[in-house]
Every structure is written in structure tokens, then in C-alpha cells.
Amino acid sequence: MSALWWWVLAGCAAAYGIKLLGYLVPERILENEKMTRAAGALTIGLLASLTIVNTVASGSEVSFDARFAALVAAAIALLLRAPFLVVVIVGAVAAALVRFLGWG
């Protein structure tokens, strides 16, 4: 099996382990307000970072290309309260269109 497969399976095992942890540990350990806040902030920070990485990273370089158009178009769709799948399609269409017109 390839190294990638092992990382996939390790990720799956870790995800289940974390879920189960919530059911197994005594409440007072995790019901600490600091831990809850850290988990919430972590979620926001990671998603913000993933958004940016997918928008501007090309390996170890920052580049502005068709993906930036996708970000703007998706933000507009979200402001207009479009459902998730529509937002994703809008992002794809924006990037494809801008690229078709010869940028990025």
C-alpha cells in the first residue's frame, strides 16, 4: 500500500478517535469553557486558512489568478444567501470563465 493510503487511513482513525473521545472522557475534562472556545476558534481559523491557501498558493508562491475571481464570485453568492452547492458551482464557473478569457 502507498504512503498516501496509510495517511488516509490514519486520518480516518484519528477522526473516529476524536469523535469517540467526546463520549468516553469524563465531562468535566472537556466541558471546560477554554477547550470549547479553542475548538471553535480552531475551526474558524483552519477554514479561513484553507480558503486562502486554495485561492493564492501555488506551491510556495503567492499568485493571483483565476481562483481569485472564484473567491469574489463565491462571496457574492453567499451574500445573496445561495445554498452551498450553488456557491460551489458559481466558484467553478467564475474560475473557468476568467481562464477562458485568458487570465490565470
C-alpha distance from residue 23 to each of 17, 46, 55, 90 (Å): 10, 24, 37, 39
Least distance from other proteins to the Cβ atom of residue 80, Å: 12
Which residues are paired to 58 by β-bridges?
Answer: 61
For other proteins, the binding residues in 52-71 under the rule CB under 8 A are 52-62, 66-67, 69-71
| 47 touches other proteins by CB under 8 A | yes
Q: Is 93 or 102 the residue whose CB approaches other proteins more closely?
A: 93
Q: How far is CA 99 from CA 66, 85, 95, in A?
A: 6, 21, 6
Q: Does 101 bind other proteins (CB under 8 A)?
A: no
Q: Does 5 bind other proteins (CB under 8 A)?
A: yes
Among 80, 96, 101, 103, binds other proteins (CB under 8 A): 96
Per-residue x/- track, 76-95, other proteins (CB under 8 A): -xx----xxx-xxxxxxxxx
The percent helix, strand, coil of the chain (3-state, each to 5) is 80, 5, 20
Residue 22 C-beta: closest distance to other proteins, Å: 2
Question: Rounded to an integer, what distance in angstroms lies between the CA atom of residue 59 and that of residue 33?
Answer: 38
